[in-house]
Amino acid sequence: MKALTIGNLKARIPIIQGGMGVGISLSNLASAVANEGGIGVISAAGLGLLYKKLSPNYTEAGNLGLIEEIRRAREKAKGIIGVNIMVALSDFAELVKTSIAEKVDVIFSGAGLPLDLPSFLHKDSVTKLVPIVSSARAVRIICEKWQNNYGYLPDAVVLEGPKAGGHLGYKENQLEDQLFSLEELLPQVVHEVSLFEEKYHKSIPVIAAGGIYTGEDIRRMMELGASGVQLGTRFVTTTECDASEDFKMSYINAHEADIEIIKSPVGMPGRAIHSSFLEKVKAGIQQPKSCPFNCIKTCDISRSPYCIVLALYNAFRGNFEKGYAFAGSNAWRAKNIVSVKETIAELVAEWKAKELKFR
């Protein structure tokens, strides 16, 4: 596989492990992927809950937890470490500042347009900025705003298609529409980005994400113009994934029909594995009466059917009576839990097998 270059960073394997909150991708998974030559990503979502022992204040605990996770990943890994920070998080600015101060290699940011992300960089910052988008239009808006306001262009762009896990940047009726498939959108985004690359003489690799599961899938994306890929689901069923064994087993035990689209309190559709909790939500469980976290900008507690950060935290710990697992459309394909090393070796072998077929 061809290395992925983002500014002065070079990943020997062009595979990014997508950030997965709440607690699914922390320092353990991120460092394992980085050590194999890919880019490992810590998710900043929900750290205030995972690290509640560090402070009674959710934002403060989240920041202290993020510092802890970045430092742990650095201790364990020689490679490239990123942090995923969703624009929708109320403590977005604090988490970005912390990541830059900790000299994390890359910040990935989606679930909204990260229009002010470059404003957090200082003269001596080393952190690369990579927005996650779902259309060529979103890329154009971000590039124009960043260039006009900060004289800065993204260091790479992740295009996340509709087959991804977690929150999806599409309307529900677009999810099955071929016009919004990753294969359709990827050449559009590559073209849009190339206009800025030519005009401003900066290389902006495009990374494809969403439903990429095999080495053959990776090759297909590269042929469509991607310089790298981002995989989430495939890394959940690894020994090093930070989720509980029960969370990983929910993937192993899932059938294709168990993967469903839900309406998240965040205001976006999401993809998850069916659970008894989701049944209760459909039946209209009680609304939460108060919110101690205020973790998501767009979440209105008076209208939310449940607290999403608690539901995802419960799932992370294996309690599906009170939560559910986010998952990509391929989650049902996992058969057993294997190491990150084996996972990447398999992806590379599948990639090579496809190469031989074409000779």
Ligand X SMILES: Cc1cc2nc3c(=O)[nH]c(=O)nc-3n(C[C@H](O)[C@H](O)[C@H](O)COP(=O)(O)O)c2cc1C
Query: Which residues are at the interface with ligand X (CB under 6 A)?
Result: 18-21, 24, 43, 45, 84, 86, 110-111, 132, 160, 163-166, 209-212, 230-234, 326-328, 330
Q: Starting at the earlier edge strand, list the strands of the sheet with 269-273.
A: 166-167, 269-273, 259-263
The residue with tokens 């994400």 is 209
| Residue 73 structure tokens | 């990943």
Q: Which residues, in sequence order, are bridge partners of residue 159?
A: 133, 208
Question: Measured from the CB of residue 341, what is the shortest distance to ligand X in angstroms?
Answer: 18
Residue count of the chain: 359
Q: Which is nearer to ligand X, 8 or 336 (CB)?
A: 336
Contacts of 66 (CB under 8 A, 6+ apart): 42, 44, 47, 83, 95, 98, 99, 102
Q: Which is nearer to ligand X, 14 or 166 (CB)?
A: 166
Q: Which is nearer to ligand X, 19 or 269 (CB)?
A: 19
Question: Measured from the CB of residue 15, what is the shortest distance to ligand X in angstroms?
Answer: 10
Q: Which is nearer to ligand X, 24 or 337 (CB)?
A: 24
**Do residues 42 and 84 lie in contact, with contact meaning Cβ atoms separated by under 8 Å?**
yes
Locate all alpha helices (DSSP H) within 21-57, ordered by sequence: 27-35, 47-50
Question: Measured from the CB of residue 338, what is the shortest distance to ligand X in angstroms?
Answer: 16
What is the spatial distance between Cα 291 and Cα 95, in angstroms, rounded to a whole number? Answer: 20
Give the phi and the psi of residue 107 in degrees, each rounded to 5: -110, 125
Q: Which is nearer to ligand X, 64 or 334 (CB)?
A: 334
Q: Which is nearer to ligand X, 166 or 265 (CB)?
A: 166
Q: Which is nearer to ligand X, 61 or 241 (CB)?
A: 241
CA 317 to chain CA mean position, Å? 19
Q: Which residues, in sequence order, are bridge partners of residue 100?
A: none
Question: Measured from the CB of residue 126, what is the shortest distance to ligand X in angstroms?
Answer: 22
Question: Measured from the CB of residue 335, what is the shortest distance to ligand X in angstroms?
Answer: 17
Question: Measured from the CB of residue 165, what is the shortest distance to ligand X in angstroms?
Answer: 3
Q: Which residues, in sequence order, are bridge partners of residue 10?
A: 5
What is the spatial distance between Cα 110 and Cα 325, in angstroms, rounded to a whole number? Answer: 19
Question: Measured from the CB of residue 331, what is the shortest distance to ligand X in angstroms?
Answer: 7
Q: Which is nearer to ligand X, 48 or 166 (CB)?
A: 166
Question: Measured from the CB of residue 237, what is the shortest distance to ligand X in angstroms?
Answer: 11
Locate all alpha helices (DSSP H) within 79-205, ordered by sequence: 92-101, 136-150, 182-200
Question: Measured from the CB of residue 286, what is the shortest distance to ligand X in angstroms?
Answer: 25
DSSP 172: G
The closest alpha carbon to 306, from 296, 317, 24, belongs to 296
What is the spatial distance between Cα 56 and Cα 309, in angstroms, rounded to a whole number? Answer: 16
Q: Which is nearer to ligand X, 118 or 131 (CB)?
A: 131
Q: What count of other Cβ atoms lies within 10 Å of the Cβ of residue 57?
A: 12
DSSP 89: B
